Structure 1
Amino acid sequence: MSYKPNEIFLFCARSLDIRVVHSFPALPAPALGQAVLCANSELDGIYNLVARQLPQFADKFEFALVPPTTASSNDSYTISSKAGKDTVIISGTTVNSLARGFHHYVKQCGHVSISWTASTINTLGSLPSLCGGGQHGSIDGAAIVPWRSYFNTVTFGYTTAFYSWPDWEHMLDWAAMHGINLPLAWVGYEQAQIVNFLSGPAFLPWNRFGNIQGSWNGSLPLEWPRQQMQLQQKIVKRMVELGMTPVLPSFTGFVPNAITDLYPNATVIKSSTWSGFPVTYTNVTFLEPLDPLFTKLQVAVIQRQRTYYGNYNENSPFSGDVSYLKNSLRAADPDAVWPQWQRTNSYYGHDWIWCELHDFGNLPTLTKGFTSAMTNSSSLVGEGNQMAWSSSSLNIKRYTEEYVQARYGPKIVSADVIECWHDLVNLVYMNNASSVVNVVPKSIYELAPNINGLLNITGHHPTKAFYDISSLVDIWKKLVGAVAASPTMLQHPQVHYDVVDFTRQVLANQFLDLYVDFMHFYNTTNPSASTSSEIIDRAEPLLEVLRTADRVLYTDVNFLLGSWIARARALADGNDTIADYYEFEARNQITLWAGLVGSYYLPQWEMFVETLAFQRNVSAFDVATFQHTMLLPLDIQWQWE
């Protein structure tokens, strides 16, 4: 058997809540230098991963589990080659470290990569020689924290809501190869008996939070929880095979209002209305944590999940006092562990994980911030990005070059492309205005059209750019010029994706400038003296940007609305009624909180321009009337289309 740390427990730190976790006793770690006997099945996970990612060379890799060579129990690996043979040997202290070692080898030495959307690993024509091998011709790597977390809870609504098993296979391979060993596993949590309480598939995370209840698209189909339970069993099994410890939610206390019909004496609390949703879909009923029924349901949930998935649970308590959770978790499992963190205590005395949301912060913070935390906090035990495998702050310039070489391949990466990325990192990924604009700005065309109130919004959902827009255009022109000089570059999926994404942002910024120009014209001239056609003509460049953006996005499958909808419909297994339900969910998700361009934003802005042109009087524009009589019908029609 391979070993695990002396005590396995799950934990997660977020800036706004407390995390309570559930776990189980671990196998004792072997003494240093002690041999570890390993059954072949224990390595099946890593061999199968290589067969999926690099089938043409699957028989050229040998993996071995070894005990740690230092007092640290953190994961480590060594990559070497067999003298006179075309074989790569990777030894590591855990299966997860073997996966990380495999990725280190193909990325650094072969300049290929695996991303969320694609993998270029299979483009290797031959096994590369060890790059940067040390004195003994080997490459070493080690984690500096025992736990590497992954997934935000809302990822299961925004991204993976309609994932099939092949989608999850790719995502879990990506996670294992990046050394992640503590992923959230929040699929298959819902029970068919309470479908009327559950939200639709794309909104389940907010149902689990207690923000919303029920579905405005009709009851969740009974097929959904059954299908998701089967999917979760595959997910958890694969996570374990790849050396990960899945984190499942336990009972959080949010219950259907009808619980008082079954338990009249239950002490329940009504939460408040949330984010402007109708009361019907918010004000979720919450079972008082000190009620004995809370413990009863906690035990039932944990035992049910243990039966189907295994011993991995996490939840968020009602208050800072975790004694009630201690009691309820202990009732389910005497070996439960509940390390906790509270923001007001700045982590002191509690195990915690340093992590981030990708659209917040900047590269210096992500690199130096974690290194500083490691130095100053004795209770930091995990990390949520690649810094978990680096003992010092990243050299951003070198990291950028290595990232681009692996993402595009050395044959594609010219000096101009490298320079573009350095300029892009220095301009956009530094964000020196994070105290004012702390997140990636939204494009104003995603907002409801208006004659004012769209510009220079700061804070959590900003529209104010924190970088010089004209400088971004210069960088974009340089990248497009490099691609134009070598058009075959666009055949590389990562190059194509980045060019499309880059162009999308440039066009979004151009829309901002054209909106300012149009509103300046409308406000400073006398619209009543102009004809409607003159006003519409003046707005034409604004609308043409949206048409152009739509055409650009249409060239890459990862930006297609059809891909998102097709994935949702595919889960219905040919049942048209359920497929229509899932499609509505998919459409509703991206219009409610996210968005799309050609068939949704463009018509909104066309109506905005036509309304102004018809009225020809800026003081006559009433935003409430416009949204209610024009935008709302379009919104409903589009979602039900």
Structure 2
Amino acid sequence: MKKLICFAALCICILFYSSASPLTGLLERIDKGASRKFIIEQVKSDTDFFELDQRGDKVVIRGNNAVSLATGLNWYLKYHAGIHLSWNGMKARLPETLPAVLQKERHETSLRHRYDLNYCTFSYSMAFWDWERWEQEIDWMALHGINLPLALTGAETVWYNVLKKLGYSPTEINQFISGPGFFAWWLMNNLEGWGGPNPDSWYKQQVVLQKKILKRMREYGIEPVLPGYAGMVPNNAHEKLGIQVSDPGVWCGYTRPAFIQPTDPRFEEIANLYYKEMEKLFGKANYYAIDPFHEGGSVSGVDLDAAGKAIMKAMKTANSRAVWVVQAWQANPQPAMIDNLKKGDMLVLDLFSEGRPQWGDPASSWYRKQGYGKHEWIYCMLLNYGANVGLHGKMDYVIDGFYDAKAHEHAGSTLSGVGMTPEGIENNPVMYELVMELPWRAERFDKQTWLSNYVTARYGCSDSVLQQAWQLLGQSIYNCPKASTQQGTQESVFCARPAEVVNQVSSFAETADYYDPQDVIRAAGLMVSVADQYRGNNNFEYDLVDILRQAIAEKGRLIQKAVAAAYRAGDKQVFKAASDRFLDLILLQDELLATRSEFSVSKWINQARSLGNTPDEKKLYEWNARVQITTWGNRHAANNGQLRDYAHKEWSGILKDLYYQRWKVYFDSMQQKLVGKSVNDIDFYIMEETWANASNVYPSAVQGDCVSTAQRVYQSVFK
């Protein structure tokens, strides 16, 4: 009997050690030696939960799996230790003796899924990440409770192998697969080839990277969502393979890939080949992302019911337990395609729950009366478009929309999770903290109280001036009205193609004034007023630069209107003074942002170049990086397809070298008109393409001290 007890105890210890090991590694990456300060206890439970407790001088984190434990750790760090880990800093110095948990605290959730990422995130933010950056992101996911992230890295190699087996030559394959800055839209069946061709080394290194990503995710117990087969084939598949295809049409000036008809017997053959190649490289998945007819793809001539069943059958052949994950965006998923699929086989991402929810809110412009029927769905916050820089959020509605959905008589019964579906990350950390805490808070809560606690956690102290600054932001720029459908931040006028009237930068933004710019300017002034006190506080310094950046952009919007008014009035003197002031603001903004690497174009370009093994490869990846954030596409796609400046960045380097130059040329032209001279139309595309094709080096090191620079810039702009 004693032997049995000892053996059982040994098994428990081994189980405990193996389950706790991801947390040990996580803690050591946060702060070397941190793992010895905690007791990590994993216990069985059908409900995801975490508990914070105390045993002697050690903090106890208890939970039912590694992700729950990591979520509990993050909760403790934020709300007990005043340590906020964020994209701007994933390391911290923990005190030798941790603040004690004075009373056991428990949080649990019945929502099984906490989803992360959008196809677009993989291009707008992650296109050129290495393993070091991915390792940090997976840690960030675990700390924020995410257990179901999209995992697209390396999908291009799967496709390369499939097409090769179908008889395509390497040249033909690379005419189909896009370049690394544009994989998202290729995978969503929007375009072919743009940004390529890729060198052989790209395919090899991305496979190595994805295997590391998946290994770490699976160590945490995180379920990766691999890309499934939606029916996409190259546009010449009818001629090359002799198969029946439909023409999904054109996307923003690009010819879409073709869609193989589900009634064609080769649909199953190609799908099976795809899943075999996927499994060979990356293993099976229990979730597959499949998004046919994304963003307006034509369904003319397609039997949607048959298409849904064929897609599902192919996925289930690969893994009978697999679930189809689909994005709800515009008319997709088409009801006729999903209505006859079995309950439990599909998981729908309500992609823009805070702007155009489709789960059943009758106030939504994309209202679906029956929501997603019997299928489970996830309440998602999109928030960011094009990885644009700018403060933005709908704090009240993100909270209220979630609890309204939970209480809805139909949608509440099929709601299975919360998710983040931004097109770009590494911005607005406050909003991502908010949305990922929703499933762990049983009752609707007050925004003001939550924000006050966030500010204390963010800076590690309670400060009335910082609280005042953030309450101003929380009531203004972070409280976009429920009815608004604008796509992301208000957008900085500095980054816009110059015009007399400028309401937005990207063509699809739908922005409208919803807050008083003076609230942002006052918040920036408050941050600057205590800046000396918080020198060296990484989170404060990041926010100081970001909030002051937003305030300067607000000032720019006001001055641009003055420039236009002076021009219309024919007042040459006021026009000259106002336009010069506007240009000065761009240069001051550039100088401010150069003090933080997060706001510098050099970081983006250097990430791209670092993945190249030869000068030609570095040049290709840099070109992808530069084109994506400027013209996006060729002249036709940029101008007629309206893609130019969609992924604009208010970053140092590009502000001075492109945006400043555009506005200066425009103002010079207006000045000439004011004195009666005839001028030619300005070809802005040529200016943008010239910058995109350049290879000038931007400093990789930050330029100047951010606090001193912020103080000086603030005085120059607002005093």
| TM-score normalised by L of structure 2 | 0.75
Which amino acid counterpart does residue 168 of structure 1 have in structure 2?
Answer: W
| CA distance in structure 2 between the aligned counterparts of 1:78 and 1:378, rounded to whole angstroms | 27
| CA distance in structure 2 between the aligned counterparts of 1:419 and 1:479, rounded to whole angstroms | 10
Q: Is the contact made by 1:202 and 1:589 (CA closer than 8 Å) also made in structure 2?
A: yes
Aligned twin of 2:687: 634
Which amino acid counterpart does residue 445 of structure 2 have in structure 1?
Answer: L
The reply to whether residue 325 of structure 1 matches residue 311 of structure 2 is yes
Q: Equivalent of 2:68, from 97, 102, 108?
A: 97
Aligned twin of 1:130: 100
The reply to whether residue 305 of structure 1 matches residue 283 of structure 2 is no
Q: Equivalent of 1:447, from 477, 483, 496?
A: 496
Q: Is the contact made by 2:549 and 2:592 (CA closer than 8 Å) also made in structure 1?
A: yes
Task: Name the SS of the counterpart of 1:308 in structure 2.
Answer: helix
The reply to whether residue 472 of structure 1 matches residue 543 of structure 2 is no
| CA distance in structure 2 between the aligned counterparts of 1:36 and 1:347, rounded to whole angstroms | 44
1:310-358 C-alpha deviation (Å, 9 max, x unpaired): 2222212457632222222233233334225595331332111111112
| CA distance in structure 2 between the aligned counterparts of 1:314 and 1:292, rounded to whole angstroms | 23
Following TM superposition, where does structure 1 have runs of at least 4 consecutive aligned residues deviating by more than 6 angstroms? 456-459
| CA distance in structure 2 between the aligned counterparts of 1:437 and 1:226, rounded to whole angstroms | 40
Deviation at 1:563, TM superposition (A): 0.8
Distance 1:437 1:95, change over 3 A: closer
Question: Which sits farther off after the overlay, 104-113 or 249-258?
Answer: 249-258
Aligned twin of 1:408: 459
Deviation at 1:616, TM superposition (A): 2.7
1:241-294 C-alpha deviation (Å, 9 max, x unpaired): 112111011112222234335421x0112222222x3xxx42322222332222
| CA distance in structure 1 between the aligned counterparts of 2:620 and 2:504, rounded to whole angstroms | 38
Distance 1:220 1:513, change over 3 A: same
Distance 1:335 1:106, change over 3 A: closer
Distance 1:185 1:162, change over 3 A: same
Task: Name the SS of the counterpart of 1:455 in structure 2.
Answer: coil
1:214-234 C-alpha deviation (Å, 9 max, x unpaired): 12x541222212111111111
| CA distance in structure 2 between the aligned counterparts of 1:358 and 1:218, rounded to whole angstroms | 30
RMSD: 2.5
| CA distance in structure 2 between the aligned counterparts of 1:481 and 1:245, rounded to whole angstroms | 46
| CA distance in structure 2 between the aligned counterparts of 1:601 and 1:438, rounded to whole angstroms | 21
Task: Name the SS of the counterpart of 2:289 in structure 1.
Answer: strand
Distance 1:510 1:66, change over 3 A: same
| CA distance in structure 1 between the aligned counterparts of 2:612 and 2:559, rounded to whole angstroms | 43
Which amino acid counterpart does residue 283 of structure 2 have in structure 1?
Answer: G
| TM-score normalised by L of structure 1 | 0.84
Aligned twin of 2:200: 222
Distance 1:340 1:43, change over 3 A: closer
Q: Is the contact made by 2:559 and 2:578 (CA closer than 8 Å) also made in structure 1?
A: no
Task: Name the SS of the counterpart of 2:251 in structure 1.
Answer: coil
The reply to whether residue 106 of structure 1 matches residue 77 of structure 2 is yes
Q: Equivalent of 1:501, from 546, 550, 568?
A: 546
Aligned residues: 574
Q: Is the contact made by 2:47 and 2:109 (CA closer than 8 Å) also made in structure 1?
A: yes
1:513-571 C-alpha deviation (Å, 9 max, x unpaired): 111111111111266xx8xxx85455201111111111111111110111111111111
Q: Is the contact made by 2:52 and 2:72 (CA closer than 8 Å) also made in structure 1?
A: yes
Identity of aligned residues (%): 26
Deviation at 1:473, TM superposition (A): 1.5
Q: Is the contact made by 1:523 and 1:618 (CA closer than 8 Å) also made in structure 2?
A: no
| CA distance in structure 1 between the aligned counterparts of 2:396 and 2:496, rounded to whole angstroms | 31
Alignment of 1:199-218 (within 5 A): 199-215=178-194, 217-218=195-196
Distance 1:415 1:295, change over 3 A: same
Aligned twin of 2:535: 490
Q: Is the contact made by 1:250 and 1:302 (CA closer than 8 Å) also made in structure 2?
A: yes
Structure 1: give runs of 5+ residues left out of the alignment: 1-34
Q: Equivalent of 2:33, from 45, 56, 60?
A: 56
Which amino acid counterpart does residue 251 of structure 1 have in structure 2?
Answer: Y
Task: Name the SS of the counterpart of 1:55 in structure 2.
Answer: coil
Aligned twin of 2:289: 314
Question: Which sits farther off after the overlay, 579-588 or 512-521?
Answer: 512-521
Q: Is the contact made by 2:472 and 2:523 (CA closer than 8 Å) also made in structure 1?
A: yes
Aligned twin of 2:444: 393
Task: Name the SS of the counterpart of 1:355 in structure 2.
Answer: strand
Which amino acid counterpart does residue 418 of structure 2 have in structure 1?
Answer: E
Greater relative contact order (CA < 8 Å, ≥ 6 in sequence):
1
Alignment of 1:92-491 (within 5 A): 92-120=63-91, 122-131=92-101, 133-134=102-103, 138-191=104-157, 192=160, 193=170, 194-215=173-194, 217-264=195-242, 266-275=243-252, 277=253, 281-312=254-285, 313-318=288-293, 321=305, 322-337=308-323, 338-339=345-346, 341=348, 343=358, 344=368, 345-359=370-384, 362-376=394-408, 377-384=412-419, 385-386=435-436, 387-410=438-461, 413-432=462-481, 434-435=483-484, 437=486, 439-452=488-501, 454-455=502-503, 461-483=509-531, 487-491=532-536
Deviation at 1:395, TM superposition (A): 2.2
Which amino acid counterpart does residue 312 of structure 2 have in structure 1?
Answer: K
Which amino acid counterpart does residue 226 of structure 1 have in structure 2?
Answer: K
Distance 1:479 1:488, change over 3 A: closer
Q: Is the contact made by 1:254 and 1:284 (CA closer than 8 Å) also made in structure 2?
A: yes
Which amino acid counterpart does residue 616 of structure 1 have in structure 2?
Answer: L
Distance 1:425 1:618, change over 3 A: farther
Q: Is the contact made by 2:472 and 2:519 (CA closer than 8 Å) also made in structure 1?
A: no
| CA distance in structure 2 between the aligned counterparts of 1:507 and 1:560, rounded to whole angstroms | 17
Aligned twin of 1:610: 668
| CA distance in structure 2 between the aligned counterparts of 1:87 and 1:205, rounded to whole angstroms | 45
The reply to whether residue 597 of structure 1 matches residue 655 of structure 2 is yes
Task: Name the SS of the counterpart of 2:40 in structure 1.
Answer: strand
1:560-590 C-alpha deviation (Å, 9 max, x unpaired): 11111111111114x1110111111111111
Task: Name the SS of the counterpart of 2:107 in structure 1.
Answer: strand
Which amino acid counterpart does residue 279 of structure 2 have in structure 1?
Answer: R
The reply to whether residue 580 of structure 1 matches residue 619 of structure 2 is yes
Deviation at 1:37, TM superposition (A): 7.6
Distance 1:167 1:515, change over 3 A: same
Deviation at 1:488, TM superposition (A): 4.7
Structure 2: give runs of 5+ residues left out of the alignment: 1-11, 161-169, 294-298, 324-344, 351-357, 359-367, 385-391, 420-434, 633-645, 695-719
Q: Is the contact made by 1:295 and 1:331 (CA closer than 8 Å) also made in structure 2?
A: no
Deviation at 1:433, TM superposition (A): 6.8
Distance 1:375 1:433, change over 3 A: closer
| CA distance in structure 2 between the aligned counterparts of 1:433 and 1:331, rounded to whole angstroms | 43
The reply to whether residue 542 of structure 1 matches residue 582 of structure 2 is yes
Which amino acid counterpart does residue 379 of structure 1 have in structure 2?
Answer: T
| CA distance in structure 2 between the aligned counterparts of 1:639 and 1:439, rounded to whole angstroms | 24
